[in-house]
């Protein structure tokens, strides 16, 4: 039997109430969203929060919608909602491709976008997706709302800028007309965390890449990305050689660690292979070459 330590339970009826509950119960309080990381950690007592504030009732945070030139994704949107979203499918294929290889249907039915980002597991997939797309994340507190670029959101493994009395409520992704995107992941088995994963988008104008985004997961990349590689490609024609050079940059600039999923040399090699594949497929989609 796996049994968590004793904890206090509260259920929030609104974002405001959730924030006041966080304030009232202090720093040993954790938000409970999908619970697919937190609850197992509690059961094996890697986490023993004093209070859980359950935000699963906050339907107001479960949405994906187009707002002007941005797509807004509520923090309580379940993975399965991202996987099935017509809006995201129209603009960014990367979402469905990433979601299809996140855990399994049971986890996807319950796990949330906000929970994934705030858990900040270094091998988490959506962090790489949002980082590739340079999303903004909206954080709420009693004093109002602030917007944080995703590449400034993570402070390190399992650590974000979200304060003790704050809640991540939304991700905002800029719409980039004509952009193609793709996600690539190698895992030891379906549902496993990534050995390495990469996401990419390419936006073309007159055959040149006016914008490029590269996201990386599980390989210790700064901000889940590689700004140098993006810079190498921006404004250029994405020839196979140019893509290969950018992929090599990603390979050299990441900081993977050895574990049961593989040694460092293999993970660097994978970064090169997967960045090449993701960029190539994103490019084909931007060109309308791939259905």
Q: Between 58 and 103, whose beta carbon lies closer to another protein? A: 103
Q: How many CB atoms lie within 10 A of CB 235?
A: 12
Q: What is the DSSP string of 216-251?
A: EESS--GGGB-HHHHHHHTTS---HHHHHHHHHHHH
Nearer CB in complex with another protein: 5/208: 5
Backbone angles phi, psi at 132, to 5 degrees: -60, -40
In the complex, what is the shortest distance from the CB of residue 134 to another protein, in angstroms, rounded to a whole number? 27
**How far are the Cα atoms of 68, 115, 125, 126, 148 from residue 65, in angstroms, in the given order?**
10, 19, 21, 18, 19
In sequence order, what DSSP letters do the residues of 115-152 get, joined into one string? HHHHHT-TT-HHHHHHHHHT-EEEEEETTEEEEEEGGG
- CB 9 to another protein: min, Å: 14
CA nearest neighbour of 278 among 207, 194, 145, 182: 182
Those residues with Cβ within 8 angstroms of residue 192's Cβ, 6 or more apart along the chain or in another chain: 261
Cβ-proximal residues to 206 (8 Å cutoff; 6+ apart), any chain:
none
User: From the CB of 253, what's the least distance to another protein, in Å?
Assistant: 20
Closest distance of CB 33 from another protein, Å: 20
In the complex with another protein, which residue's Cβ is closer, 86 or 190? 190
**Least gap, CB of 28 to another protein (angstroms):** 16
Tell me whether residue 75 or residue 196 sits nearer to another protein (CB atom): 196
DSSP per-residue string spanning 7-32:
-EEEE-SSHHHHHHHHHHH-TTEEEE
Would you tell me how many other CB atoms lie within 10 Å of the CB of residue 48? Answer: 13
Give whichever of 4 and 174 is closer to another protein, judged by the CB atom. Answer: 4
Using only C-alpha atoms, what is the Rg of the chain?
19
Looking at the Cβ atoms of 39 and 161, the one nearer to another protein is 39
List interacting residues with another protein (CB under 8 A): 1-6, 44-45, 104, 186, 188-193, 195, 258-264, 266, 269-270, 273-274
Minimum distance from residue 15 beta carbon to another protein (Å): 32
Cβ 265 to another protein, closest distance in Å?
8
- Residue tagged 């140098």 (tokens): 228
CB of 152 to another protein, least distance (A): 29
**CB of 237 or CB of 252, closer to another protein:** 252
Closest CA to 79 of 123, 39, 36, 136: 36
């Amino acid at each position: 039997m796996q049994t968590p330590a004793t904890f206090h339970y509260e259920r929030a009826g609104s974002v405001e109430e959730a924030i006041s509950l966080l304030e009232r119960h202090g720093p040993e309080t954790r938000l409970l969203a999908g619970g697919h990381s937190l609850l197992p950690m509690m059961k094996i007592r890697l986490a023993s929060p004093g209070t859980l504030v359950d935000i699963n009732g906050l339907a107001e945070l479960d949405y994906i919608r187009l707002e002007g030139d941005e797509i807004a994704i509520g923090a309580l949107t379940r993975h399965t909602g991202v996987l099935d979203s017509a809006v995201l499918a129209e603009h960014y294929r990367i979402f469905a491709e990433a979601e299809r290889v996140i855990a399994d249907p049971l986890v996807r039915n319950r796990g949330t976008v906000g929970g994934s980002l705030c858990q900040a597991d270094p091998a988490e997939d959506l962090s790489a997706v949002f980082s590739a797309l340079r999303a903004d994340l909206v954080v709420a507190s009693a004093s109002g709302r602030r917007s944080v670029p995703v590449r400034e959101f993570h402070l390190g493994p399992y650590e974000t800028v979200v304060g003790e009395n704050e809640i991540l409520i939304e991700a905002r992704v800029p719409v980039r007309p004509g952009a193609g995107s793709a996600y690539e992941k190698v895992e030891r088995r379906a549902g496993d965390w990534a050995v390495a994963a990469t996401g990419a988008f390419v936006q073309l104008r007159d055959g040149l890449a006016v914008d490029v985004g590269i996201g990386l997961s599980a390989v210790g990349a700064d901000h889940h990305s590689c700004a140098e590689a993006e810079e190498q490609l921006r404004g250029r024609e994405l020839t196979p050689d140019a893509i290969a050079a950018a992929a090599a940059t990603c390979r050299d600039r990441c900081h993977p660690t050895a574990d049961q999923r593989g040694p460092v040399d293999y993970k660097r090699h994978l970064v090169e292979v997967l960045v090449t594949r993701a960029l190539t497929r994103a490019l084909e989609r931007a060109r309308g070459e791939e259905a």
